């Protein structure tokens, strides 16, 4: 019996904060792909990704393709394997999905390779309902679920924040990651009490009052990541 022909690929959900809202990077696929073949999903919304070469490990393909193609330095984290036999209408493709968080500042440097006719940042709370390539919408939703899971249990998402940041920016980010409202006053008390952040500067704020700016205390972040906190806390207390 001849072994089944299965191709391996990777796709990456890239998330950043644009105009204080959580966004995902989506390309629009070209009618013809990078090897001159007709694309099965021309103009469809798509995540950056690629086939994995036979002589490469997945991590090597990611280093070779992802950073140079989109113009950003990334450290993607494994998310899940998507292996529906019908996810690609041409042939059997199993993709390993990753996700990456990038700060606000480099987000405008995003670029797209020849497999895409264009690309843009899309707010995650207004994702297109239709017009996606493969199962990429499901991959994005899985990444958001993963982020919410971690945000409910440990400090998450600091890689998305500018340096330094205000507590309102941190509060807004946590609400978006947790997908629920968080009492701002209790949030401020908790963040300050834990020593997770340290005041480093200020900038002019509303009504003439300065806005305090903070940076993460890495040793405290490590402690809280190890200890975690209750899924419904700590901001409700």
Tell me which of 3.40.47.10, 2.160.10.10, 3.90.79.10, 3.30.420.40 is the CATH number of domain 7-150. Answer: 3.90.79.10
- Whole-number Cα distances in Å, 172 to 35, 179, 180: 43, 10, 10
Residue 78 CB partners (closer than 8 Å, separation 6+): 96, 97, 98
- Whole-number Cα distances in Å, 24 to 46, 109, 228: 11, 14, 26
- The pTM assigned to this predicted structure is 0.87
**CA dist., res. 86 & res. 92, Å (int):** 7
Confidence class for position 109, pLDDT limits 50, 70, 90: confident
- Whole-number Cα distances in Å, 96 to 41, 76, 159: 19, 11, 22
- The mean of the pLDDT values for the chain is 87
Alpha carbon 52 to its chain centroid, in Å, reads 21
Q: What fold is seen in the domain 155-227?
A: Arc Repressor Mutant, subunit A (1.10.10)
217: tokens are: 């205390």
The mean pLDDT value for 202-208 works out to 77
- Each residue of 177-191: pLDDT tens digit? 998 899 999 988 888
What are the domain boundaries of the chain? 7-150, 155-227
**CA dist., res. 222 & res. 217, Å (int):** 9
Peptide bond into 164 cis (omega under 30): yes
Alpha carbon 128 to its chain centroid, in Å, reads 17
Confidence class for position 41, pLDDT limits 50, 70, 90: very high
- Beta strands 49-51 and 77-82 are unpaired
Position 230 pLDDT exceeds 80: no
**CA dist., res. 11 & res. 24, Å (int):** 13
């Amino acid at each position: 019996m001849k072994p089944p022909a299965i191709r391996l690929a990777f796709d990456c959900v890239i998330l950043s904060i644009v105009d204080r809202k959580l966004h995902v990077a989506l390309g629009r696929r070209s009618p013809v792909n990078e090897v001159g073949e007709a694309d099965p999903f021309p103009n469809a919304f798509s995540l950056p990704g690629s086939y994995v070469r036979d002589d490469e490990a997945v991590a090597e393909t990611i280093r070779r393709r992802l950073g140079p193609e989109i113009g950003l330095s990334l450290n993607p984290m494994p998310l899940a394997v998507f292996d529906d036999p019908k996810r690609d209408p041409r042939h059997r493709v199993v993709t390993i999905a990753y996700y990456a968080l990038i700060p606000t500042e480099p987000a405008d440097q995003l670029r797209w390779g020849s497999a895409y006719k264009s690309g843009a940042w899309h707010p995650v709370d207004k994702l297109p309902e239709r017009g996606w390539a493969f199962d990429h919408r499901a991959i994005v939703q899985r990444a958001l679920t993963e982020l919410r899971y971690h945000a409910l249990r440990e400090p998450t998402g600091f890689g998305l924040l500018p340096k330094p940041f205000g507590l309102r920016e941190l509060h807004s980010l946590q609400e978006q990651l947790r997908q629920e409202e968080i009492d701002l006053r209790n949030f401020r008390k908790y963040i300050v009490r834990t020593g997770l952040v340290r005041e480093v500067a200020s900038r002019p704020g509303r009504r003439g009052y300065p806005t305090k700016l903070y940076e993460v205390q890495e040793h405290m972040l490590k402690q809280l990541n190890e200890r975690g906190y209750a899924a419904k806390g700590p901001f409700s207390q």
